[in-house]
Amino acid sequence: MNIDRLMDVLQTLRFESQRTLGLPGLLGGVALVAAVVAFSSSRVVDDETTRLAQSTRHARSTKPLPHEELDRASLDAANLERLPDLLSTFDESGNDISTILARAQEAHLTLGSAHYQVATETSTRFKHYQVLLPVKDQYVTIRRFIAAVLNSVPNAALQEIHVERPAVGDNTLDARIRFDLIYRTNGS
């Protein structure tokens, strides 16, 4: 059956039903069909909601056994002990600085002169390398740069960001971004 024939049949059906039922009857029939479709859809949603509620109740009722909690706690403690060994040593700091500067260049940021400071805490097995970068650009560009650095340098942490707008109508912001690069000490 081609499209023209189908359109003719549908138009004939509409005219015959309008002649038999009238316009209010035809509109009532359309409303009735819409109500049946909505009701059947709501039953499907209700059934799915009930199934999810039952699975949530079941998941909440099954608590880990005490020995499983102990196993997880000891596993977490062991992983925490291994954490410093997963970090690179301070010898890799040059590569991390190069990566940060490459991300700034990719973002077309205007960088001022950076300030660097090394801090070693005697009570821990970590060495901190603080990098303070003065930046001038739009907010979106600065935000993307920070995200790119945090995604590409796994031992980087954003410690501080200070943003100033020199003029009310100006889109260019003056920002100071401080990253803390964390390394294990060579003695570990």
- The amino acid occupying position 73 is A
User: CATH homologous superfamily of domain 88-184?
Assistant: Ribosomal protein S6/Translation elongation factor EF1B (3.30.70.60)
- Residues in the chain, pLDDT under 70: 1, 62-70, 79-85, 122-123, 186-188
Stated pTM of the model: 0.54
Where are the CATH 3.30.70.60 domain residues in the chain? 88-184
**Would you say 102 and 149 are in contact if contact means Cβ atoms under 8 Å apart?**
no
pLDDT at 178: 94
**Would you say 110 and 136 are in contact if contact means Cβ atoms under 8 Å apart?**
yes
**Would you say 116 and 129 are in contact if contact means Cβ atoms under 8 Å apart?**
yes
